[in-house]
Protein backbone atom coordinates (compact mmCIF):
# COMPACT_ATOMS: atom_id res chain seq x y z
CA UNK A 1 0.00 0.00 0.00
CA UNK A 2 1.43 3.35 -0.95
CA UNK A 3 1.64 6.27 1.43
CA UNK A 4 0.07 9.58 0.53
CA UNK A 5 2.59 12.29 -0.21
CA UNK A 6 1.83 15.48 1.66
CA UNK A 7 2.55 18.68 -0.17
CA UNK A 8 3.65 21.79 1.65
CA UNK A 9 2.96 25.38 0.87
CA UNK A 10 5.71 27.96 0.83
CA UNK A 11 4.07 29.63 3.83
CA UNK A 12 4.86 26.55 5.96
CA UNK A 13 8.58 26.94 5.27
CA UNK A 14 9.39 30.63 5.15
CA UNK A 15 12.79 31.45 3.71
CA UNK A 16 14.96 33.08 6.35
CA UNK A 17 17.00 36.11 5.54
CA UNK A 18 20.64 35.11 5.12
CA UNK A 19 21.84 37.85 7.47
CA UNK A 20 19.95 36.26 10.37
CA UNK A 21 21.37 32.87 9.51
CA UNK A 22 24.90 34.28 9.46
CA UNK A 23 24.37 35.87 12.88
CA UNK A 24 23.11 32.56 14.29
CA UNK A 25 26.04 30.63 12.81
CA UNK A 26 28.51 33.20 14.19
CA UNK A 27 27.18 32.53 17.68
CA UNK A 28 27.35 28.75 17.29
CA UNK A 29 30.61 28.33 15.37
CA UNK A 30 32.47 31.51 16.30
CA UNK A 31 34.03 33.89 13.85
CA UNK A 32 37.24 31.91 13.27
CA UNK A 33 35.61 28.59 12.38
CA UNK A 34 32.86 30.24 10.34
CA UNK A 35 35.47 32.30 8.45
CA UNK A 36 37.35 29.07 7.70
CA UNK A 37 34.23 27.31 6.42
CA UNK A 38 33.16 30.28 4.31
CA UNK A 39 36.71 31.11 3.14
CA UNK A 40 36.32 34.78 4.03
CA UNK A 41 37.62 37.14 6.67
CA UNK A 42 35.68 38.30 9.70
CA UNK A 43 34.87 41.64 8.03
CA UNK A 44 32.96 39.79 5.31
CA UNK A 45 30.98 37.90 7.94
CA UNK A 46 30.13 41.20 9.62
CA UNK A 47 28.93 42.64 6.30
CA UNK A 48 26.85 39.53 5.60
CA UNK A 49 25.33 39.64 9.07
CA UNK A 50 24.27 43.19 8.26
CA UNK A 51 22.64 42.07 5.03
CA UNK A 52 25.29 43.33 2.63
CA UNK A 53 27.57 41.90 -0.02
CA UNK A 54 27.00 38.16 -0.02
CA UNK A 55 27.48 36.35 -3.32
CA UNK A 56 25.44 33.41 -4.53
CA UNK A 57 28.14 30.80 -3.84
CA UNK A 58 28.66 32.08 -0.32
CA UNK A 59 24.95 32.29 0.42
CA UNK A 60 24.53 28.71 -0.77
CA UNK A 61 27.34 27.59 1.54
CA UNK A 62 25.77 29.49 4.47
CA UNK A 63 22.40 27.85 3.82
CA UNK A 64 23.96 24.40 3.40
CA UNK A 65 25.82 24.78 6.69
CA UNK A 66 22.67 25.96 8.41
CA UNK A 67 20.69 23.00 7.04
CA UNK A 68 23.18 20.51 8.47
CA UNK A 69 23.31 22.44 11.76
CA UNK A 70 19.50 22.40 11.99
CA UNK A 71 19.43 18.64 11.42
CA UNK A 72 22.02 18.00 14.12
CA UNK A 73 20.33 20.45 16.51
CA UNK A 74 17.37 18.07 16.73
CA UNK A 75 19.45 15.84 19.03
CA UNK A 76 22.66 17.67 19.92
CA UNK A 77 23.70 20.83 21.73
CA UNK A 78 25.53 23.60 19.84
CA UNK A 79 28.88 22.87 21.55
CA UNK A 80 28.71 19.23 20.45
CA UNK A 81 27.77 20.25 16.91
CA UNK A 82 30.71 22.66 16.76
CA UNK A 83 33.06 19.89 17.90
CA UNK A 84 31.56 17.48 15.35
CA UNK A 85 32.22 19.99 12.56
CA UNK A 86 35.86 20.35 13.65
CA UNK A 87 36.69 16.66 14.07
CA UNK A 88 37.93 14.15 11.52
CA UNK A 89 35.09 12.13 10.03
CA UNK A 90 35.66 8.67 8.53
CA UNK A 91 32.68 9.13 6.19
CA UNK A 92 34.42 12.15 4.72
CA UNK A 93 37.78 10.39 4.18
CA UNK A 94 38.93 11.76 7.54
CA UNK A 95 38.32 15.37 6.53
CA UNK A 96 36.34 17.44 8.99
CA UNK A 97 32.77 18.41 8.10
CA UNK A 98 33.96 22.04 8.20
CA UNK A 99 36.53 21.29 5.49
CA UNK A 100 34.00 19.34 3.44
CA UNK A 101 31.43 22.17 3.53
CA UNK A 102 34.19 24.63 2.59
CA UNK A 103 35.20 22.41 -0.31
CA UNK A 104 31.65 22.16 -1.66
CA UNK A 105 30.70 18.70 -0.38
CA UNK A 106 27.54 19.67 1.50
CA UNK A 107 25.69 16.50 0.40
CA UNK A 108 28.43 14.32 1.84
CA UNK A 109 28.32 16.29 5.10
CA UNK A 110 24.54 15.86 5.27
CA UNK A 111 24.95 12.10 4.78
CA UNK A 112 27.60 12.03 7.53
CA UNK A 113 25.30 14.01 9.84
CA UNK A 114 22.44 11.56 9.24
CA UNK A 115 24.76 8.63 9.93
CA UNK A 116 25.95 10.31 13.13
CA UNK A 117 22.39 10.85 14.33
CA UNK A 118 21.37 7.29 13.45
CA UNK A 119 24.33 5.89 15.39
CA UNK A 120 23.53 7.95 18.48
**34 part of a folded domain:** yes
Which residues does residue 95 pair with via DSSP β-bridges, in sequence order?
A: 89
**8 part of a folded domain:** no
**40 part of a folded domain:** yes
Lowest mean pLDDT among 2-16, 42-56, 61-75, 97-111: 2-16
Q: Is the Cβ–Cβ distance between 56 and 47 less than 8 Å?
A: no
Q: What is the CA radius of gyration of the chain?
A: 15
Q: What is the DSSP string of 85-98?
A: HHS-BGGGTTB-HH
**4 part of a folded domain:** no
Q: Is the Cβ–Cβ distance between 50 and 42 less than 8 Å?
A: no
pLDDT at 10 over 50: no
**7 part of a folded domain:** no
**6 part of a folded domain:** no
Task: Domain of residue 46: give its range.
Answer: 16-119
Half-sphere exposure of 35 (CA within 13 A, CB side): 11
What's the mean per-residue pLDDT of the chain?
90
Summarize pLDDT for 62-118 with one digit per residue, the tens. 999 999 999 999 999 999 999 999 999 999 999 999 999 999 999 999 999 999 999
Summarize pLDDT for 20-41 with one digit per residue, the tens. 999 999 999 999 999 999 999 9
Q: How many domains does the chain have?
A: 1
Q: Model pTM?
A: 0.85
Amino acid sequence: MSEAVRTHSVAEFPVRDVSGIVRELMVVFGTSLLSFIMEVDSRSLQRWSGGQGIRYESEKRVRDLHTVFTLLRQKEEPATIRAWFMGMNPQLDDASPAEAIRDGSARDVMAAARAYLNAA
